[in-house]
Structures are given as C-alpha cells and as structure tokens.
Amino acid sequence: MQFVDVMVRQAHPGPAEPAYATFEEKREDAETYQREEGISWPVLVDDLEGTVHQVYSGLADPSYLIDADGRVAYYNMWTYSPVLHQAIEALLAQGGRGVVLGEGIDQTPHLMPSMTDGWKGLRRGLPQSFVDMETAAPTSATMMWLGHQLRPLLAPLTLREKPLPASAKIVIGGMVVAAAALVLRSRRGQASG
C-alpha cells in the first residue's frame, strides 16, 4: 500500500492563511502540513487552478483507493477511516485488483471526523474562517470548537481507524435504547403525577 496526500486550495482562508496567490505559498503549506501532522508518505501539491483536484471531484475531503492496475477500487467521497480500512482489507484479500465492497463507492457525508478534528484547520484561518463558517452554516464552527475541546472523549469513536466490532455496536445500541426508555419513563411519570 502506498499512501499519497494531495494539497488543495485553502478551504477556510483567513488573514494568516489567505487564498494562495502563488504556487510557492501552497508548497510551503504542504511542507508545514506534512511536518505538523507527522505524515511519512508523500504530500503532493496541486496547481493553483486545482487541475487534479477538480478532475477528481473537487470535493472537500475525498479519498480514492486505487488498485494495482491503476483503476479505482473504492471511492470514499467523504473520507472516513473505518470504511477505508474495510476497503483496503477487501482489496488486499482479492489480490490488489478490482472494485471492492459492492459498488465500490461511499456517498455518506461523514461529518463526525471534521466535527472532532476540523478545528485544527479552521484555527489556522482565524478569525475570518470562524465568521465565514458560522455565516455559511450557523453553529458549525462552534460545534467544531466544542468537538476539539471534547476530543479526548469523542476521538475513540469519531476518529477510530477501524469499524466497530459487533459487540461494541450492541453495547452502544443498548445504551441508546436504555436512555430512550428512561426519558419515556420520566415523561410518563410527569404526566401521571
């Protein structure tokens, strides 16, 4: 497996990180990104027009799993590690070739990772990035700040690398049912009392 990152435009520009005026600025950010995130694989720098990014959808955060023949094996439109983990395992299991996991596409807008981890990016463009984000989608920037504060609590669930085991799903499902039952009971109690 070879991992590759491609650096795209500023998603949330601000005074310290304005829209790129030159390719050199973009390259410098890619170097800082690689260093700050401790990325050991290549970080590539797309041109200012986003030629490669736009050919590959122009989405904010997509991932493509490409098979040994250079074909798309899985298209994760909103990058989500547990899904990619499954896709990579499936691809390796079938010898590194072919489409995996049914139709080979995940269109689900996975927002929990960016709600937990997105503040790191938004913080670089403060204060404009925050104002723009709140204007574009009210409360979303605040939620990202909150997600960052609660990161130690949320990360094991929202930033996990692998799919949850069936036992964990049963436990979480049980907790949701129990919580709903408690709410219903207290409401009935209030109604009769």
Partner 1 sequence: MTTPVTTPEAAERFAALTEKEPLGEYNYTHFRTKHLLQDAQRTIQKQGILPGEIAPDFELPRAGGGSLRLSDLRGKPALVHFGSFT
What is the distance between the alpha carbons of residues 55 and 178, in angstroms, rounded to a whole number?
47
Nearest approach in angstroms of CB 63 to partner 1 is 5
Q: How far is CA 4 from the centre of its chain?
A: 16
Task: Kindly report the number of other CB atoms within 10 A of residue 157's CB atom.
Answer: 12
Nearest approach in angstroms of CB 170 to partner 1 is 30
What is the distance between the alpha carbons of residues 181 and 193, in angstroms, rounded to a whole number?
18
Residues 6+ apart with CB under 8 A from 120: 148
Q: Based on CB atoms, which residue is closest to partner 1, 6 or 155?
A: 6
Q: Based on CB atoms, which residue is closest to partner 1, 58 or 174?
A: 58
3-class SS of residue 65: strand
Q: Based on CB atoms, which residue is closest to partner 1, 107 or 192?
A: 107
Q: Based on CB atoms, which residue is closest to partner 1, 21 or 166?
A: 21
Cβ–Cβ under 8 Å, residues 76 and 65: yes
Between helix 140-149 and helix 151-158 the angle, nearest 10°, is 100
Nearest approach in angstroms of CB 151 to partner 1 is 18
Nearest approach in angstroms of CB 189 to partner 1 is 42
Q: Based on CB atoms, which residue is closest to partner 1, 61 or 160?
A: 61
Name which of 143, 144, 150 is nearest 121 in CA terms.
144
Nearest approach in angstroms of CB 6 to partner 1 is 5
